């Protein structure tokens, strides 16, 4: 651990306060060409019997950089993992089997999930090796996660949440989409089928042999956690992957498409725009539909956030390239408009009924700030088992987030409205900017029990910027 002064100096030297949200990690091989490979879509998870799924976490090799293979750790050996495509109110029981060396915990991000299936970092499924995790609950090789899915249609995702090692384990590939649909959304007539694209955006760097490069202090991820000190702000990779493909291209018809954008990066934020121009029509946020569509020229998306947007490719001539670009650091992917098409989709002016925010019954402040060389909340690094708040089930509270850096703050179970900023709709993750104060009205529905609040910059999370709370 470096000294607090050394760490603050690093923060300042790296341009804290501008747009930087981590430290760039260079690759040991030439970067692949842009827009050379087609976008792929993760396969859809298939039940073994109605409502039952079995997923095995295992290593696999995939060709990410042409001419080399990369060992990934994936759900069913795939990166991204299989997409769960499920309906509101139809419970799913997912058996996770861990064939990796390391322990895992699978969290459904954005899920209204009973606490014992929420994927708490200390609720671990042991793999083939048994490293020490003081105080953790251990499951032998498998665990059944119960997802009642009694919540609005939304783009959720699932990912690893192991205590102290979430960053490297997600980086190795342990993440996938989890879509919930409902009648309300289906009635709208939004673009669907192959005109609905889940896009998991994340960044990676590579070793000369094609393996993922990550600055872990212990590459086995069995003993010592943490990253080299210069990466404490977060790891920013050089290659942008969409659904595991570097800077892919995708052919579209000149019609409306629905893009479910997910930033699954460890630390990097993106400011997405379309080149040569054009706007996104935002229809949904982390927790589902907005009341009405919103036109946005750019979308700033922080780790953990989702934006559900419509892009109308009819406004571009057939033959044109439309690049999804990142104004902060480069390109993401490219669409090619190949032909005219018939478009029966609609984007109604009213998407969902207004959902007023209840009167808050309490106010709490959470200060996300470095303290004694670690990332802390209210001056304290994560202490498993210590709960700092006890909101009542079925109530709304005002939570105030204060920060010293970019901290994408995420609340488990609760869903919130951001007060006094441009974000619309219900969210579960908010990008708190350096020296900013953000207030959210957070509602706790679903289940009593132990949940957590943390920074979704995964290096910050692993370096203690988490806290438990109890819904009572």
Query: Where on the phi/psi map is residue 294: left (φ > 0), alpha (ψ -120 to 50), or beta?
Result: beta
The item of Cu ion, ligand C2O, none sharing an interface with residue 396, based on CB under 5 to 8 Å by kind, is none
Q: Tell me how crowded residue 167 is: count the other CB atoms within 10 A of its CB.
A: 29
CB of 63 to ligand C2O, least distance (A): 27
Distance between CA atoms of residues 386 and 408, nearest Å: 22
- Site residues (CB under 5 A) for Cu ion? 109, 407, 412, 455, 457, 460
CB of 258 to Cu ion, least distance (A): 23
Sign of CA dihedral 390, 393, 395, 400: positive
CB of 257 to ligand C2O, least distance (A): 26
CB of 304 to ligand C2O, least distance (A): 5
Quick note: the x/- pattern for ligand C2O over 156-195, rule CB under 6 A, is ---x-x----------------------------------
Residue closer to ligand C2O by CB (options 294, 465) is 465
CB of 33 to ligand C2O, least distance (A): 32
Q: Which of 162, 412, 427, 450 binds ligand C2O (CB under 6 A)?
A: 412
Distance between CA atoms of residues 399 and 416, nearest Å: 9
Please report whether residue 415 would count as binding ligand C2O according to CB under 6 A.
no
The item of Cu ion, ligand C2O, none sharing an interface with residue 34, based on CB under 5 to 8 Å by kind, is none
CB of 461 to ligand C2O, least distance (A): 7
Residue closer to Cu ion by CB (options 258, 306) is 306
Report the site for ligand C2O in 191-230 (rule: CB under 6 A). none
CB of 130 to Cu ion, least distance (A): 26
Q: Which of 213, 256, 410, 460 binds ligand C2O (CB under 6 A)?
A: 410
Residue closer to ligand C2O by CB (options 104, 345) is 104
Please report whether residue 304 would count as binding ligand C2O according to CB under 6 A.
yes
Please report whether residue 450 would count as binding ligand C2O according to CB under 6 A.
no
Q: Rg of the chain over CA atoms, in angstroms?
A: 21
Going from the C-alpha of 329 to that of each of 203, 272, 325, 336, 359, the distances in angstroms are 11, 10, 9, 22, 41
CB of 270 to Cu ion, least distance (A): 16
The item of Cu ion, ligand C2O, none sharing an interface with residue 460, based on CB under 5 to 8 Å by kind, is Cu ion
CB of 107 to ligand C2O, least distance (A): 5
Query: Residue with structure tokens 């036109």?
Result: 295
Residue closer to Cu ion by CB (options 154, 255) is 154
Residue closer to ligand C2O by CB (options 412, 443) is 412
Residue closer to Cu ion by CB (options 200, 455) is 455
The item of Cu ion, ligand C2O, none sharing an interface with residue 65, based on CB under 5 to 8 Å by kind, is none
Report the site for ligand C2O in 102-131 (rule: CB under 6 A). 107, 109
Residue closer to ligand C2O by CB (options 161, 406) is 161
The item of Cu ion, ligand C2O, none sharing an interface with residue 407, based on CB under 5 to 8 Å by kind, is Cu ion
The item of ligand C2O, Cu ion, none sharing an interface with residue 454, based on CB under 5 to 8 Å by kind, is ligand C2O
Token pair, residue 237, equals: 């990779």
CB of 112 to Cu ion, least distance (A): 11
Cβ contacts of 373 within 8 Å, gap of 6 or more: 1, 2, 3, 4, 6, 7
The item of ligand C2O, Cu ion, none sharing an interface with residue 433, based on CB under 5 to 8 Å by kind, is none
Q: How many of the chain's residues bind ligand C2O (CB under 6 A)?
A: 9
Residue closer to Cu ion by CB (options 109, 143) is 109
Residue closer to ligand C2O by CB (options 179, 311) is 179
SS (H, E, C) the chain: CCCHHHHHHHHHHCCCCCCCCCEECCCCCCCCCCCCCECCCCCECCCCECCEEEEEEEEEEECCCCCCCEEEEEECCECCEEEEEEECCCCEEEEEEECCCCCECEEEECCCCCHHHCCCCCEEEECCCCCCCCCCEEEECEEEEEECCCCCCEEEEEEECCCCCHHHHHHCCCEEEEEEECHHHHCCCCCCHHHEEEEEEEEEEECCCCCEECCECCCCCCCCCCECHHHCCCEECCEEEECCEECCEEEEECCEEEEEEEECCCCCCEEEEEECCCCEEEEEECCEEEEEEEEECCEEECCCCEEEEEEEHHHCCCCCEEEEEECCCEEEEEEEEEECCCCCCCCCCCCCCCCCCCCCCEEEEEEEEEECCEEEECCECCCCCCECCCCCCCCEEEEEEEECCCEEEEECCCEEEEECCCCCCCECEEEECCCCEEEEEEECCCCCEEEEEEECCHHHHHCCCEEEEEEC
Residue closer to Cu ion by CB (options 253, 423) is 423
Name the site residues for ligand C2O (rule: CB under 6 A): 107, 109, 159, 161, 304, 410, 412, 454, 456
């Amino acid at each position: 651990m470096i000294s607090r002064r050394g760490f603050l100096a690093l923060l300042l030297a790296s341009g804290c306060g501008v747009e930087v949200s981590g430290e760039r990690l260079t690759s040991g091989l030439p970067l692949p060409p842009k827009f050379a490979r087609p976008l792929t879509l993760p396969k859809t998870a298939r039940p073994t019997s109605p409502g039952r799924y079995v997923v095995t976490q295992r290593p696999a090799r995939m060709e990410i950089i042409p001419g080399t293979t990369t060992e990934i750790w994936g759900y069913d050996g795939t990166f991204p993992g299989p997409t769960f495509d499920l309906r509101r109110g139809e419970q799913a029981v997912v058996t996770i089997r861990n064939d990796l060396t390391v322990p895992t915990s699978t969290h459904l991000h954005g899920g209204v999930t009973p606490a014992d299936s929420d994927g708490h970092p200390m609720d671990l499924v042991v793999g083939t090796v048994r490293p020490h995790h003081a105080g953790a609950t251990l499951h032998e090789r498998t665990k059944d996660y119960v997802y009642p899915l009694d919540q609005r249609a939304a783009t959720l995702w699932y990912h690893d949440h192991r205590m102290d090692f979430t960053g490297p384990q997600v980086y190795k590939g342990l993440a996938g989409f989890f879509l919930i649909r409902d009648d309300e959304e289906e009635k709208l007539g939004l673009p669907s089928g192959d005109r609905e694209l889940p896009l998991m955006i994340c960044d990676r760097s590579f070793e000369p042999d094609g393996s993922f490069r990550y600055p872990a202090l212990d590459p086995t991820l069995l003993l010592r956690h943490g990253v080299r000190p210069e990466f404490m702000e977060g790891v920013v990779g050089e290659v942008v992957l969409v659904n595991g493909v570097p800077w892919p291209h995708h052919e579209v018809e000149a019609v409306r498409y629905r893009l479910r954008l997910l930033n699954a990066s460890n630390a990097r934020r993106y400011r997405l725009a379309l080149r040569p121009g054009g706007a996104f029509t935002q229809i949904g946020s982390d927790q589902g539909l907005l009341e009405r569509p919103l036109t946005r020229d750019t979308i700033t998306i922080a780790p953990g956030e989702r934006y559900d947007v419509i892009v109308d490719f009819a406004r571009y001539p057939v033959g044109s390239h439309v690049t999804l670009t990142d104004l902060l650091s480069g390109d993401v992917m490219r669409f090619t408009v190949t032909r005219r098409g018939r478009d029966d989709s609609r984007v109604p002016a009213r998407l969902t009924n207004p959902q007023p925010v209840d009167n808050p019954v309490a106010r709490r402040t959470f200060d996300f700030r470095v303290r004694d060389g670690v990332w802390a909340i209210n001056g304290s690094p994560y202490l498993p088992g210590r709960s700092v708040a006890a909101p009542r089930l079925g109530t709304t509270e005002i939570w105030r987030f204060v920060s010293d850096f970019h901290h994408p703050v995420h609340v488990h179970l609760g869903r919130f409205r951001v007060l006094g900023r441009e974000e619309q709709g219900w969210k579960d993750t908010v990008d708190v900017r350096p020296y900013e104060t953000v207030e959210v009205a957070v509602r706790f529905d679903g289940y009593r029990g132990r949940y957590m609040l943390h920074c979704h910059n995964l290096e910050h999370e692993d370096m203690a910027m988490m806290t438990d709370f109890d819904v009572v």
